[in-house]
């Protein structure tokens, strides 16, 4: 559905994305992660025809962003990180402009705008100026705009930026539902907190693709160790002793919390928790700390 063929992008005369090749298939949801300045935003923007390619090509549903930009925009919905700087434009008018451009008229136009406002949690607030919206409502309005023409591909830049937990959950459901319907999602995510609604990850570093695969730590575990934290109220020292022979290293950081360094090829998180429970110790919470995708970004070379 989206094929990057040695795609390169320049910014201010510098090559920011360099020779990226990647195949995103229909029905997959990919998160592009990497350190700040890795080129994530520009890669997604190039797929949306929002910035020009310096070299290579990107095909979206078979359409070249170089040769058939209009066809790409018909099949793709693009969500930039920030709304446009259009002072005085109201939320309802913003959606109406793009709905008309997508061919909506009459009753269908009214329904599209109402549905968009509802998705943006702005029902009854179509008269609000977009430059007065808080970050969460602005982001959800951009998502609503991208969906007006019922695209087969969603291209998202920092889709969770500025969202509260409810707004983040709403976008996660949207991504999951989109993927289940056979549509395709590509998102640049800055903080590497990648929810399970994404099926795959692509890791960029200094503009180059350095790793790609399913959104599962086992996919990226070869040669790595992961930090895994357990909370065992008042029994962290005892839990550390129980795990000493199981994990690469383990340390109690306080009376309640321990951090294990694990080799996923040798032991799984489930086996770690099971070992503590078999020792008769309580496990109140357990998980990668920081999230394993953030650890991947920090260690990928």
CATH superfamily of this structure's domain 222-299:
YebC, transcriptional regulation domain (3.30.70.980)
Answer whether residue 243 shows pLDDT above 70: yes
Q: Are 49 and 65 in contact (CB under 8 A)?
A: yes
pLDDT tens per residue across span 36-46: 899 999 999 99
Distance CA 138, CA 81 (A): 9
pLDDT of the residue at 299: 58
pLDDT tens per residue across span 109-160: 999 999 999 988 899 999 999 988 888 888 889 988 998 888 999 999 998 8
Q: Are 257 and 283 in contact (CB under 8 A)?
A: no
CATH 3.40.50.300 domain extents, the chain = 2-215
CATH 3.30.70.980 domain extents, the chain = 222-299
Strands (E), 94-225: 153-157, 184-188, 200-205, 208-214
pTM for the whole structure: 0.88
Q: What is the chain's mean pLDDT, rounded?
A: 91
pLDDT tens per residue across span 168-215: 888 888 888 887 788 899 999 988 889 999 999 999 999 999 999 999
pLDDT of the residue at 224: 86
* In this structure, CATH architecture of domain 2-215: 3-Layer(aba) Sandwich (3.40)
Q: Give me the percent of the chain exceeding a pLDDT of 90.
A: 69
pLDDT of the residue at 301: 42
Give me the half-sphere count of Cα atoms (radius 13 Å) on the Cβ side of residue 277.
10
Closest CA to 32 of 211, 188, 192: 188
Strands (E), 26-132: 29-33, 55-60, 63-64, 76-79
């Amino acid at each position: 559905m989206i094929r990057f063929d040695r795609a390169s992008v320049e910014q201010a005369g510098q090559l920011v994305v360099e020779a990226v090749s990647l195949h995103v298939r229909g029905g997959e949801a990919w998160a592009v992660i990497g350190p700040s300045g890795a080129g994530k935003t520009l890669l997604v923007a190039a797929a949306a025809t929002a910035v020009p390619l310096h070299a290579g090509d990107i095909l979206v549903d078979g359409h070249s962003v170089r040769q058939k930009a209009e066809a790409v925009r018909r099949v793709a919905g693009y969500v930039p990180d920030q709304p446009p700087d259009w002072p005085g434009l109201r939320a309802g008018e913003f959606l109406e402009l793009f709905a008309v451009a997508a061919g909506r008229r009459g009753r269908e136009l009214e329904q599209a705008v109402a549905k968009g406002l509802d998705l943006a949690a702005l029902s009854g607030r179509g008269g609000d100026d977009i430059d007065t919206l808080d970050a969460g409502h602005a982001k959800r309005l951009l998502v609503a705009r991208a969906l007006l023409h019922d695209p087969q591909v969603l291209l998202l830049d920092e889709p969770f930026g500025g969202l509260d937990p409810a707004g983040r959950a709403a976008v996660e459901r949207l991504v999951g539902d989109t993927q289940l319907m056979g549509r395709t999602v590509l998102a640049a995510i800055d903080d590497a907190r990648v929810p399970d609604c994404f099926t795959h990850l692509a890791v960029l570093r200094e503009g180059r693709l350095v790793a790609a695969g399913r959104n599962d730590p086992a996919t990226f575990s070869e040669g790595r160790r992961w930090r895994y934290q357990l909370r065992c109220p008042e029994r962290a020292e005892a839990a550390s002793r129980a795990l000493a022979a199981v994990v690469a290293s383990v340390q109690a950081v306080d009376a309640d919390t321990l951090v294990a360094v694990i080799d996923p090829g040798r032991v799984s998180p489930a086996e770690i928790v099971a070992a503590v429970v078999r020792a008769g110790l309580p496990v109140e919470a357990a998980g990668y700390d920081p999230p394993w995708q953030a650890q991947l970004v920090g260690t990928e070379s």
